[in-house]
A = this chain, B = another copy of it.
Amino acid sequence: GNEDAVTFLRSVFDLVIKEGVERVKDASTPVIDFKNPEELEQILDLKIPMQSSSHDQLLHYCEQVFKYSVKTAHPHFFNQLYAGLDPYGFAGQVVTDVLNTSIYTYEVAPVFVLMEKYLLRHVRQLIGYEGGDGTFSPGGSYSNMLGMNLARFNKFPQVVRVGMRGLPRIVAFVSSQSHYSNKKNAALLGIGIDDVIPVATDNCGRMLTSDLKRKIEESKEEVSILSNVCLVLLNVLYHCVINYQMLISLWFTIMIRWNGAVPFLVVGTCGTTVLGAFDPVDEIADICQDNNIWLHIDAAWGGGVLLSSKHRHLCKGIHRSDSVAWNPHKMMMAPLQCCIFVTKHDSVMKNCQSIQVPYLFQPDKTLYSPEYDIGSKVIQCGRKVDVFKLWLMMKAHGNIGLESRINKAFDNAQYLAELVKKTDGFKLVCDVSPECTNVCFWYLPKRLRKLEWRLDDKAFCQKVAAVPPIVKEKMTTSGSLLVGYQPLAGMPSFFRMVVINDELTKSDMHFVINEIDKLGQDI
């Protein structure tokens, strides 16, 4: 019965506080008790039974989940663009969970609809938009997709009814270090990855606007014979027998190629995934204005700086964009998922994405205006409530508290970069100070430290690139910390330290340097 269920819930809550809130903050416990997939599958009893399980058994399963999961709220988890646990955000999430509703109509989510409208307006004001619209979304990739979809609609509204076949070739421009979602989204939207044109960056990952200008001009005049030949071959391969339809399709593709493309979107990034670079938004906005191109800003990671009067200059010009993606679940420490998409345009979401749905958005409702049925203008139908956890956090900390959270992360990252500069065996990827709270560096074990540093020497680069996977394995099996690594732009693999958690101190930064050196100096 219900009483039993309540007793069970109370036991789970106790476990959640003990394991999920208290123990994870103890730096002396491991970040992960690593088992490989084969071992872990042996340990976990995954099978779905015929009969019900006892509460003790279920609690045991929950304990196992805690034991073998990664503690992302542990002070030494630096592996992703999220970390830490905001207790107010978590509390808001639990309240949302138990109320278990979908935020598509005011009828079933009155409080959350109002709150979402309010908070999205607040975010637009932070950005500097005057009017506009927006939605929470299930991820930064999804938000970038919305930007791409609205940009296309803005130039060619017929796409909704007739699809891409009613359009000339359209092309988007993104920096070569922008997030991979831009490519995946172009594939999904029927635009194609080939029409996402990469723009060169400087050494620290910022888009070169001179290259953007040049690529836009080129795209308008492009005669790409090679790509057309490839396309023909591809089609022949996939279809073997060429039929009449296919010939027409190919002919059209070639004609369009020969007549250039229509630039419809530039994605600027505020806080790139690896280096944390901020593209020069103001300069990009000038180019977009001159060419009548939609400017979407992917601030999923770096958008947190909007809360800080000290650091928001990094996004200078963001108010001139057409849309912005920002994930408060990253730098702001809101619980996952908490992602915001906003546009400065009042009715583009409605015009592009609404269709009549009388079973859900009844036009003859008597108690409130249809504008409060906000689900009508998004692509999702059912949508999880992601606003309350963020709102409660913002109430709890106030603007001042959130600003100091962001500033502290930047201070710690700056301190870590200084440590990296002066510690033997460590070398910053971007020689100037990091723009964001990513600190990227190579690490060299003792045996490599005497070699000359030459990124143009392939053999040397291979030696450098072989280090992070080994150190990462040692981190993981010891459980002492987790830091990610990757190659980038032809450079050998390096570590990406991400500083987010506002409970970190300078001594945690020393810990990172010392621990990596301890694990790696003799490999």
Contacts and interface: CB of A to CB of B under 8 A. Distances in A.
Contacts of A441: none
Nearest to A126: B48
A259 B245 contact: yes
Contacts of A470: 366
Given A139-B383, A327-B382, 13 more contacts: A5-B21, A6-B87, A37-B369, A50-B398, A50-B400, A69-B111, A72-B101, A73-B98, A145-B188, A161-B193, A162-B253, A180-B381, A329-B382
17 contacts: A8-B88, A36-B368, A44-B111, A46-B391, A48-B399, A100-B336, A158-B234, A162-B194, A164-B192, A166-B250, A181-B379, A188-B189, A189-B190, A245-B259, A252-B256, A366-B470, A367-B473
A371 to B, nearest CB: 9
A80 interface: yes
Given A53-B396, A192-B162, A9 B5 contact: no
A181 B486 contact: no
Nearest to A220: B245
A2 interface: yes
Contacts of A115: 44, 46
Contacts of A52: 396-398, 400-401
Contacts of A395: 48-49, 53, 57-58, 61
Contact of A6 (B22, B46, B156, B158): B22
A463 interface: no
Interface in A321-370: 327, 329, 335-337, 352-353, 355, 357-360, 362, 364-369
A10 B22 CA distance: 13
A367 B100 contact: no
Contact of A17 (B9, B111, B180): B9
Contacts of A336: 100-102, 382, 384
B102 A399 contact: no
Given A142-B380, A192-B160, A392 B58 contact: yes
A95 B66 contact: yes
A192 B72 contact: no
Best-surrounded residue of A139, A188, A191, A192 (most CB of chain B within 10 A): A188
A484 interface: yes
A109 B69 contact: yes
Given A162-B253, A190-B164, A364-B469, A61 B97 contact: no
Contacts of A186: 163
B58 A359 contact: no
Contacts of A455: none
A366 B469 contact: yes
A294 interface: no
A184 interface: yes
A516 B103 CA distance: 26
A380 to B, nearest CB: 5
A57 B396 CA distance: 9
Given A108-B72, A384-B138, A49 B487 contact: no
B362 A110 contact: no
Contacts of A231: 158, 162, 166
A337 B72 CA distance: 22
